[in-house]
């Protein structure tokens, strides 16, 4: 299984490729610069803070949350390492739903404490699509890297027997 640093290197290389791919799309005006910024911001957030390895309470991803890392303890307790948290679709979805619950809880606490509902966000498909892609792609790259590494290790083991 690749280390946390190896995952980050793979995801950083892919980020450069995705950013390069966005240039011709921008030039043809198929996408806007604000969509690229949303994608890149979501990608970086996901790369550093939404890793599938949040299912381990001793992973790099877990410690990157700093003083807030305890927020991910219930997630690590519920999801066994490399099980559903590493599923191509359900894994990223579980973390997006989990962080959504945390945000809603934070908004509720803010509302109760201040009586102010906070800023309202108008979400459209033009905003949600680059955010979802940015959140999903680093997870996809992580899971594929884990699977490739595992299948290589199994092949090596079979050759030794
Ligand atoms: Zn992993």
* 108-130 per-position pLDDT tens digit: 898 899 888 777 777 788 888 99
- What's the 115 CA to ligand 1 centre distance in angstroms? 41
Residues 6+ apart with CB under 8 A from 135: 42, 43, 45, 46, 50, 92, 96
Cα(145) to ligand 1 centroid in Å equals 8
- At 161, is the pLDDT very low, low, confident or very high (cuts 50, 70, 90)? low
Instruction: Please classify residue 40 by burial: count the beta carbons closer than 10 Å to its beta carbon, then call 0-12 exposed, 13-18 middle and 19+ buried.
Output: middle
Residue 39 CA to ligand 1 centre (angstroms): 22
- Over residues 42-99, the pLDDT tens digits come to 999 999 999 999 998 888 999 999 999 999 999 999 988 888 899 999 999 999 999 9
For ligand 1, the distance from its centroid to the CA atom of residue 67, given in whole angstroms, is: 22
Give the mean pLDDT of the chain.
90
Q: Do 85 and 54 contact (CB within 8 A), yes or no?
A: yes
């Amino acid at each position: 299984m690749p280390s946390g640093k190896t995952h980050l290197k793979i995801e950083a290389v892919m980020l450069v490729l995705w950013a390069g791919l966005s240039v011709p799309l921008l030039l043809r005006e198929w996408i806007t610069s604000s969509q690229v910024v949303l994608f890149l911001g979501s990608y970086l957030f996901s790369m550093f803070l939404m890793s599938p390895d949040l299912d381990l309470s001793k992973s790099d991803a877990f410690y990157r949350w700093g003083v807030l890392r305890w927020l991910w303890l219930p997630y690590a307790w519920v999801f066994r390492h490399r099980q559903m948290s590493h599923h191509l679709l359900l894994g990223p979805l579980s973390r997006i739903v989990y962080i959504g619950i945390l945000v809603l809880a934070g908004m509720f606490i803010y509302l109760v404490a201040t009586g102010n509902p906070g800023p309202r966000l108008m979400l459209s498909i033009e905003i949600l699509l680059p955010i979802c892609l940015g959140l999903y792609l680093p997870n996809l790259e992580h899971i594929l890297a884990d699977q490739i590494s595992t299948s290589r290790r199994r092949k090596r083991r079979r050759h030794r027997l």
